[in-house]
């Protein structure tokens, strides 16, 4: 295995990714018509201004959609396995640029360099998955009730897919959508988070270089920049049959209504409030590792981060003490330094929300076990570094019901049978990821049964955080109900058509209806 390259700076990474500063101080990517105001991208790692990016005006947006519509006309005619070949090349380009892109992800978003590389690896994995899938976009055949008739269903390309993504997975979520949409014959218009615009520019450049090398129109992939107002141009646009939106529940409710009002389709990947149930039959060592990684990894800024631990009263103190001891070992600091476990939050607003949550849990009657706190001084100049915190709480507290996007873990106690823990686990509005730690088969199966976890993801003896691309990813209830990535998630990017062919000289009607002339 080749050694991971670490000894290069952000400027070198930006250069490798084709991001150059223009005379007006802004940076731009391929196929981007943005001419609006500039947004500035600051690194939460050290507070530096990395670059500026221009936002998309309504005029620019209409140009992007025209280019995308034209590109769709040719791209959909290319046989799906040939589209897969383009995605294969795109995956290889990502392999070449894994280190600079991983570094940009780390520096602009604040996750560790290892996690940044892991995010790019997810992009590569979904490309590999999509290449194989490009030969398997099959529908069913069914037997007709009429003699001499054949029935089957087939899937056709849908059109322009609008992608709206969150800051915490600034590149992978786009790839999850776009790799599948491309092999399905769709073209994509992406609005990355306004908090991580350079990651968007970098990805767009990589995609554009592959399309150019193959003499394909760049409009197969386009990017628009800006805040929610730019996102709204897509949600209200009838030219976009599917909007795939990842972000907060608040955003999802607005997007869902806007898209539904024009009877478009939406794929929603929204907030979670994920719990691990720890039964008396749990392996405590595994539990602690899973819980700590789930709660503090990416500084608690994963949709699948562990927010709640539901622990049986008989082992409560043992788990609590082990966790408090483990938290003492955590090092918070520059995420590009692999000796640190926890990097910064995305910005100072996120720090304020973290602070508010800790105050609120106390005000509601909770007890702080590991106090947390905001770090300042050398190495913490960005003002975005906080210490992971643990509080004892009750599931009914308002703050526990709410997703705080920061490293705050709530310990909740249950007594009696596993059913009681499952009721607590399900007793929130979100339904993304869940887990149980147990070596008892009955408890595990109960958790996975129809009366078990109500989440889109339910794991046994692994934590809530992270997922493999091979499975369909998403959650129930206010998490939005969408599924993307693996399994048959590709179907939402296509339109299904049922075909009936009559190869006789008669015209029999269905359901035995007679219509004699």
**Is 200 a residue that touches ligand NAD (CB under 6 A)?**
no
Binding mask 338-377 for ligand NAD (x = CB under 6 A): ----------------------------------------
Range list of β-strands (E), 76-178:
141-142, 149-157, 160-164
Residue from 28, 30, 168, 274 touching ligand NAD (CB under 6 A): that is 168
Sequence-separated contacts (24+) of 136-140 with Cβ below 8 Å: 137/80, 137/183, 137/184, 137/490, 137/494, 139/496
From the list 99, 119, 194, 269, the catalytic residue is: 269
Give me the least distance between CB of 236 and ligand NAD, in Å please.
9
Q: Pick one of 116, 219, 241, 247: the residue that binds ligand NAD (CB under 6 A).
A: 247
With CB under 6 A as the contact rule, which of the stretches 6-14, 240-248, 365-373, 464-472 interacts with ligand NAD? Answer: 240-248
Q: Distance between CA 207 and CA 230 in Å, rounded?
A: 22
Q: Does 405 engage in binding with ligand NAD (CB under 6 A)?
A: yes
**Residue selected from 72, 90, 113, 167 as contacting ligand NAD according to rule CB under 6 A:** 167
Minimal distance, residue 54 CB to ligand NAD, in Å = 16
Out of 184, 203, 303, 384, the active site residue is: 303
Interface positions, 420-439, toward ligand NAD (CB under 6 A): 432
489 contributes a contact to ligand NAD by CB under 6 A = no
Question: Are 435 and 462 contacting, i.e. CB atoms less than 8 angstroms apart?
Answer: yes
Pick out residues in 23-52 that bind ligand NAD (CB under 6 A): none
Phi, psi of 51 (to 5 degrees): -170, 175
| Helix extents (H) in 138-196 | 172-183
Identity of the residue, 237 or 403, whose beta carbon is nearer to ligand NAD in the bound complex: 403
Neighbours of 500 (CB within 10 A): 12
Give the total residue count for the chain: 517
Residues 6+ apart with CB under 8 A from 336: 45, 103, 106, 107, 112, 113
Q: Is 274 in the site for ligand NAD (CB under 6 A)?
A: no
Q: Among residue numbers 294 through 313, which ones bind ligand NAD (CB under 6 A)?
A: 303
As a whole number of angstroms, the distance between CA 489 and CA 493 comes to: 8
Phi, psi of 59 (to 5 degrees): -60, -45
Does the annotation count 269 as an active-site position?
yes
Beta strands 484-485 and 472-473, pairing class: antiparallel
User: In the annotation, is 199 catalytic?
Assistant: no
Q: Residue from 39, 105, 255, 299 that binds ligand NAD (CB under 6 A)? A: 255
Closest separation in Å from C-beta 261 to ligand NAD:
13
- 465-484: contacts with ligand NAD (CB under 6 A): 475, 479
269 contributes a contact to ligand NAD by CB under 6 A = yes
Nearest CA to 193 out of 239, 232, 224 is that of 224
Binding residue (CB under 6 A) for ligand NAD from 17, 65, 68, 166: 166
- Binders of ligand NAD among residues 121 to 160 (CB under 6 A) are none
Nearer to ligand NAD, 382 or 404 (CB): 404
Paired with 309 in beta bridges are 276, 411
Q: Is 251 in the site for ligand NAD (CB under 6 A)?
A: yes
Measured from the CB atom, the residue of 279 and 430 that comes closer to ligand NAD is 430
Q: Which of residues 157 and 464 has its CB atom nearest to ligand NAD in the complex? A: 464
52 contacts 197 by C-beta, under 8 angstroms: no
| Closest of 302, 299, 298, 404 to residue 354, by C-alpha | 404
- Tell me how far apart the alpha carbons of residues 157 and 183 are, in angstroms, rounded to a whole number: 9
CB 69 within 8 A of CB 87: no
Q: What angle do CA 292, 293, 297 make, to 5 degrees?
A: 120
Q: Give yes or no for residue 201 binding ligand NAD (CB under 6 A).
A: no
Which residue's CB is nearer to ligand NAD, number 315 or number 462? Answer: 462
Strands (E) across 15-159 are located at 26-27, 38-42, 49-54, 141-142, 149-157
Among 42, 113, 169, 493, binds ligand NAD (CB under 6 A): 169
Shortest distance (Å) from residue 303 CB to ligand NAD? 3
Q: How far is the CB of 263 from ligand NAD (least distance, A)?
A: 18
Concatenate the DSSP letters of all residues of 388-417 into one string: -EEEE--TTSHHHHS--SSSEEEEEEE-SS
Residues marked active site are found at 269, 303
In the complex, the residues that contact ligand NAD under the rule CB under 6 A are: 164-169, 191, 193-194, 227-228, 231-232, 235, 246-248, 251, 254-255, 269-272, 303, 403, 405, 432, 475, 479
């Amino acid at each position: 295995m080749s050694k991971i390259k670490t000894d290069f700076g952000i400027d070198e990474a930006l250069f490798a990714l084709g991001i150059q500063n223009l005379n007006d101080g802004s940076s731009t990517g391929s196929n981007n018509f943005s001419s609006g105001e500039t947004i500035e991208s600051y690194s939460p790692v050290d507070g530096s201004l990395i670059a500026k990016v221009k936002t998309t005006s309504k005029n620019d947006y209409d140009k992007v959609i025209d280019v995308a519509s034209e590109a769709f006309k040719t791209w959909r005619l290319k046989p799906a396995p040939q589209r897969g070949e383009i995605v294969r090349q795109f995956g290889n380009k990502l392999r070449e640029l894994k280190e600079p892109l991983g570094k940009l992800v780390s520096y602009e978003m604040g996750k560790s360099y290892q996690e940044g590389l892991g995010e790019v690896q997810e992009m590569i994995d979904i490309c590999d998955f999509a290449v194989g899938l490009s030969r398997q976009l099959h529908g069913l055949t069914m037997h007709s009730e009429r003699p001499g008739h054949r029935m089957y269903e087939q899937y056709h390309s849908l059109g322009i897919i609008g992608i709206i993504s969150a800051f915490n997975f600034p590149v992978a979520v786009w790839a999850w959508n776009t790799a599948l949409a491309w092999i399905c014959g769709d073209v994509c218009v992406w609005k990355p988070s306004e908090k991580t615009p350079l990651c968007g520019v970098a990805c767009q450049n990589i995609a554009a270089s592959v399309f150019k090398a193959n003499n394909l129109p760049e409009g197969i992939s386009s990017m628009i920049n800006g805040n929610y107002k730019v996102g709204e141009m897509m949600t209200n646009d009838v030219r976009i049959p599917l909007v795939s939106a990842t972000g907060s529940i608040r955003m999802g409710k607005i997007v869902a209504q806007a898209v539904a009002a024009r009877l478009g389709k939406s794929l929603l990947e929204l907030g979670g409030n994920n719990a691990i149930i720890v039964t008396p039959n749990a392996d405590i060592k595994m539990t602690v590792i899973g819980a700590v990684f789930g709660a503090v990894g990416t500084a608690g800024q994963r949709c699948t981060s562990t927010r709640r631990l539901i622990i049986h009263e008989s082992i409560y103190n043992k788990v609590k003490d082990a966790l408090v001891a483990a938290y003492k070992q955590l090092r918070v600091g520059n995420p590009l330094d692999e000796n640190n476990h926890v990097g910064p939050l995305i910005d100072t607003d996120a720090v304020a929300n973290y602070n508010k949550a800790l105050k609120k849990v106390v005000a509601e009657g909770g007890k702080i076990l590991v106090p947390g706190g905001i770090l300042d001084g050398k190495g913490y100049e960005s003002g975005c570094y906080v210490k992971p915190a643990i509080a004892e709480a009750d599931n009914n507290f308002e703050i526990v019901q709410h997703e705080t996007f920061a490293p705050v873990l709530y310990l909740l106690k249950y007594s009696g049978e596993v059913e009681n823990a499952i009721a607590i686990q399900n007793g929130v509005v979100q339904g993304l990821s869940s887990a149980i730690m147990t070596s008892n088969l009955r408890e595990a199966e109960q958790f996975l049964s129809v009366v078990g976890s109500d989440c889109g993801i339910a794991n046994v003896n692994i934590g809530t955080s992270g997922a493999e691309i091979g499975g369909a990813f998403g959650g129930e209830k206010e998490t939005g109900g969408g599924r993307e990535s693996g399994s048959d998630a590709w179907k939402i990017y296509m339109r299904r058509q049922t075909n009936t062919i009559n190869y006789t000289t008669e015209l029999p009607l269905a359901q035995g209806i007679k219509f004699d002339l």
